[in-house]
A and B are shown apart, each in its own frame.
Chain A
Amino acid sequence: MAQLGRAILLLGLGVAIYGIAASLYGARGGRADWVDSGRRSVYALAGLMVFAFALLEIAFLRNDFSFTVVASTSSTTIPVFYKLTAPWSSQQGSLLLWVMLSSFWSSAVLFLTRRRLREIAPYATAVLLGLGGFFLALAAFAANPFDTVRVAPVNGAGLDPLLQHPSMMFHPPMLYSGYTLMAVPFAFGIGALITGRLGPEWIRDTRRFALAAWLFLGAGVVLGARWSYTELGWGGYWGWDAVENAALLPWLCITAFIHSVQIQEKRGMLKVWNVSLIALSGTLAVFGTFLVRSGVLDSIHAFGASTLGVPFIVLLGVMVATSIGLIVARRDQLRSEHRIDSLLSREAMFLFQNLVLVAMAFVIFWLTLFPLISEVITGNKVAVGPPAFSEVVVPIALILVLLMGIGPMISWRRATVANLRHNLSLPIAAGLVTLVAAALLTDAARRPYALVMFALGAFVVAGVLQELYRGARARRAATGELWPLAAVALVRRNRRRYGGYTVHAGFALLLIGVAASSSFQSSTDVVLTPGQSTKLDGYTFRYVRPTASASAAKLEFGAVIDVTRGGHQVQTLWPRRGYYPSTDTSDGPIGRFFDNTNADTTVGLDAGFLNNIWAVGNPNLGPLAPEINRGNQLFSADIDTIEARTARLSVAQQNAALAPVWVLRNDVVEALVRQYTQHRWPVEFQLLVFPLISWMWAGALIMVLGGLIALWPVPSLGRRRRQLAADRARLALELAAELEPVEASLADDRQVVA
C-alpha cells in the first residue's frame, strides 16, 4: 500500500507538470483542446489525491505501523474518531491534505468557469497546478506520508493528547480549506494580469471563492480559539501566537478585498488595490503555511523545525516578485474608471475600512516577525508578548468597528448630512445608552477601551437591526407580507447585503465578548484540600472530592468542584487531567503511566449567558512518587530477570512469559489510582470567571451564518435568466419612455442631415 501511495504522489506530480504545460501551450497557441486537457489535469489530480488520502486513512484505521507517520502519530488505543483525524497531525499527512483540498477547490472553480473566462482560465489553471505541484513535490520528496520503517513496531507512539479533541476533526481542514481557497482568486488575479483581461468578469466568477476562503479561514481560526480555551488549559483562547497570527493575516486581507471589490464591481475603481489585496492574501496564505511548517518561529501549533523553510521562501519570493511585476506592467489598464464622488459615501467608508484592515494586518505581521527581525539585526531574539499586540491592535479595532457601523448606514455614491443624521440617530443613541449604562451600572469605566468597544458594538448591532426593520417595512408596504415573511424575503432577495450585515452584527458581538472577557476576567490560583473553598467574583468554589479513573488509553485525575453564589447552587465542575502512557523507558514500568509531560486537560466549564466559570486542576501526584519509584524498581528487576531468562526464546514465548507481569503491573497502577481518591491531598487549581465570553462564540456563529447567507447560491440559472429578462424588460420600458424624446430629436437631426 505504501508503494502504491508513493507511486500516486509521483503520478500526481507528473499530472500537475503536464497540466501546467498543456494550459500554457493552449493559452499561447489559442488551442482550446490543450486548455481543456490542462483543466482536466486538475480534475485528475484531485481524483488521485483523494485516492492517496484514502490510502493513508486506511493505514491509520488498520494500525499499519509500517508507515512512519502512522507509527509516530497513532496507536492501537486511540479511538477511531481520532485515527481519522490523526493524518493531519503530522507534517506529511497535512501536506497531503493541503494538496487534496487545493486540487478539489481548483477543480470546483475550473468546472464552474469552464465556459467562461476562456482567456484567463488557462493561466489560472497553471498557477493553481503550480501551487498544488509545489506542495505535492514537498509531500513526494521531503515529507512523504507513505514512507515506511524497516521493522514495524507493535504499537505506535500515539497521537498527541492535546490533539485528541473534537475541534481537531474540523479545525485543520477548515484552515487548510481557507488557505487553499485563497489560491483561487490569487490564481485568477494573476491570470487576469497576464492576459490584461482586467474587466469585472473574473471578479464576478471568483468572488464567491474569496468569500468561501474568508468563511473557512475565519471558522478555522475560531475553532482553534475554542480548542485553546477548552483543551490547552492555560486560561485563554488567543495568545497572539505566530501561527494564530499567520491565519489572521490573510483573513484580514481577504476581508478588505471582499469589501473593496464591491467598489470595483460598481464603479470600476480600486483596481490596483484589489489585485494587490488578492496577491497579498494569496501570498500570506502561503506565508502562514510556511510558518507552521518551517519552525522558524516558536509556536505550540507548529510542526517544529524542518527543512521545508527554504523551498517556501523561494515560493514566496516568486509569488511576490511575479505579483509586483505584473501589477506594475499592467498599471495603465488598472487605472480607475471613476473617482469617489463624496467622502460621505459607502465607497469612502469601505476605503477607510480597507486602510484600517490593512494597517492592522501590517502591525500584526510586523510584531509576529519582530523576534526574527531582531535576531537578524541584533543577534538576540526579542520576544513580543500579547500586551504589545493588544496595545496597538485594540485602538485600530475600535476604529474598524466604528467604520463597520457607519458603512451600512450610508448609501453608495453620495449621502447628505440630513440622511446620515436620520440613519445614524438610533444607532448612536443605542451606543450612548450602552456607554452610559455600562459606565454607571458596572465597573467598566476602569477599562476605557473596553467601554468604548461596548458602545461601538451596540452602535453596530442597532444599525443592523434598524436596516433589517426598515427593509422589511418597505417590503411589507409593497407586498403586504407578514413581518417575518417580509424579513426573510428581504434577506433572500439581497443575500450579499444582509449576509454582510449579519456578519457585522456577529463581529460586533464577538468583539464585545473579547473586550469583556479579556478586560474584566477574574482569576485566582489557589491550593485546596477536599472540603475547602475559595471565593472569586462573587462565586464560592468548594473542592468537594478528588476523582480518578484508569483505562487502557489513559489515567485520569480530576476534581469535583461545587460552585455557589449567594448560597445558591450554580454548577458542579469536573476538571480533569488525562495522563497518557509515555514511551520513554527512563520513566520506568510504573512511572510511564504517571508522566505529566504527556497529559491533556479537560476544563471544568459552566458556560452561561453572562459569565463562563472555568476551572482546571493540577493533580497532586507527589505523594504517590515513593510508591511509583518502588514499583519501578520491583518491576524493572522482574522484567530484567524474565527477559534474561527468555532471551533465547521466540518473541511470542517472551511475551507469554511477561504477560503475568503486565497483569500485575496494571493492578498496581489501578491501586495507585485508587489511592489518589482515598486521600485528602491538596490540589492546585486555576479558577477563572470570564464575563460575556459566550457572546464571543455566539458572535462567531452569527458571522458564519451571515457568511453562508452571502455565499448561498443565487436562484437557479433558469430563475436567474427569468429575473434578468424581467429586469431587462422593465429597464427597456422605462428607458423607452425616457429616450422617446431623444430618439425623436435624433430622427429630426438625421432628416436635417439627409
Chain B
Amino acid sequence: MSYLIVLVLLLGVVLVVTQPLRRARDAVRDPDAGRAASELLDLGAARDAKYREIRDAELDHETGKLSDDDWLAIDSTLRSEAVEILRELDRVSGPIGTRRADGV
C-alpha cells in the first residue's frame, strides 16, 4: 500500500512540477523584455512609494508636524519627483506602461 501511495505522490509531483515544461517548450524569455518589465515594476514600486510619501507629508501637515511653508516646499519637491517617475514610466513603457507597472 505504501509503495502505491508513494507512486501516486511521485506521479502527482511530476505532473505538477513539469506542467510548465509541457505547456510551453519554447518559452525562451527575451532578456531585454525581461529587463524592461523589471524596470517597469521597479518604477511602479517607486511611484507607489512616492504617492504614499505625498500622503504622509499631507498627514504630517494636518497633524501639525509640518508648518504650512515646510509642507508646501516638501509637497512641491515630492510632486516633482513623482512627475519624474511618471515620465520615466512613460519613457520605458509607452501608454500601457502604468498598467503593466501595477503588475496586472
- Taking Cβ atoms with an 8 Å cutoff, the residues of A that contact B are 1, 3-4, 7-8, 11, 15, 18-19, 22, 29-34, 36-37, 40-41, 43-44, 47-48, 51, 115-119, 197, 199-201, 203-205, 265-266, 409-416, 418-419, 422-423, 467, 470-471, 474, 494, 497, 717, 721, 724, 727-728, 731, 734-735, 738-739
Contacts and interface: CB of A to CB of B under 8 A. Distances in A.
B9 A8 contact: yes
Nearest to B35: A119
Nearest to A36: B20
B27 A32 contact: yes
B56 A497 contact: yes
Interface of B: 2, 5-6, 9-10, 12-13, 16-21, 23-25, 27-31, 34-35, 37-39, 41-46, 48-49, 51-57, 59-60, 62-67, 70, 74, 79, 82-83, 86, 98, 102-104
A419 B70 CA distance: 10
B103 A116 contact: yes
B42 A201 contact: yes
A278 B53 CA distance: 23
Given A40-B19, A411-B74, 4 more contacts: A37-B19, A44-B13, A204-B45, A727-B51
Contacts of B67: 416, 418-419
Given A199-B45, A200-B45, A413 B74 contact: yes
A19 B18 CA distance: 11
A419 B64 contact: yes
A33 B21 contact: yes
B47 to A, nearest CB: 9
Contacts of A115: 103-104
A414 B56 contact: no
25 contacts: A4-B2, A4-B6, A7-B2, A19-B17, A31-B27, A33-B24, A34-B20, A34-B21, A44-B17, A116-B41, A117-B41, A118-B34, A197-B42, A199-B45, A200-B49, A201-B42, A205-B45, A265-B52, A266-B52, A411-B70, A412-B57, A414-B74, A415-B70, A474-B62, A728-B86
B65 A415 contact: yes
A221 to B, nearest CB: 30
Given A724-B51, A738-B79, A32 B29 contact: yes
Contacts of B5: 4
A416 B70 contact: yes
Contacts of A416: 67, 70
A508 to B, nearest CB: 19
B79 A411 contact: no
Contact of A412 (B19, B53, B64, B86): B53
A31 B63 contact: no
Nearest to B40: A201
Given A48-B13, A117-B41, A30 B63 contact: no
B16 A40 contact: yes
Nearest to B18: A37
B2 A3 contact: yes
A706 to B, nearest CB: 17
Contacts of A738: 79
B35 A40 contact: no
A1 B53 CA distance: 56
Given A11-B10, A18-B17, A411-B65, A30 B29 contact: yes
A265 B47 CA distance: 10
B59 A497 contact: yes
Given A40-B19, A51-B9, A118-B38, A266 B2 contact: no
A419 B6 contact: no
A199 B47 CA distance: 12
Given A11-B9, A117-B41, A412-B56, A266 B70 contact: no
Contacts of B57: 411-413
A37 B21 contact: yes
B65 A409 contact: yes
A-B CB proximity, top 4 nearest: A199-B42, A36-B20, A474-B62, A30-B29
Contacts of B63: 467, 470-471, 474
Contacts of B30: 30
Contacts of B55: 494
A419 to B, nearest CB: 6
Nearest to B51: A727
A14 to B, nearest CB: 9
Contacts of B64: 419, 422-423, 470
Contacts of B43: 199
Nearest to A420: B65
B2 A15 contact: no
Interface centre among B20, B21, B48, B83 (most CB of A within 10 A): B20
A370 B64 CA distance: 48
Nearest to B30: A30
Given A29-B28, A411-B66, A48 B49 contact: no
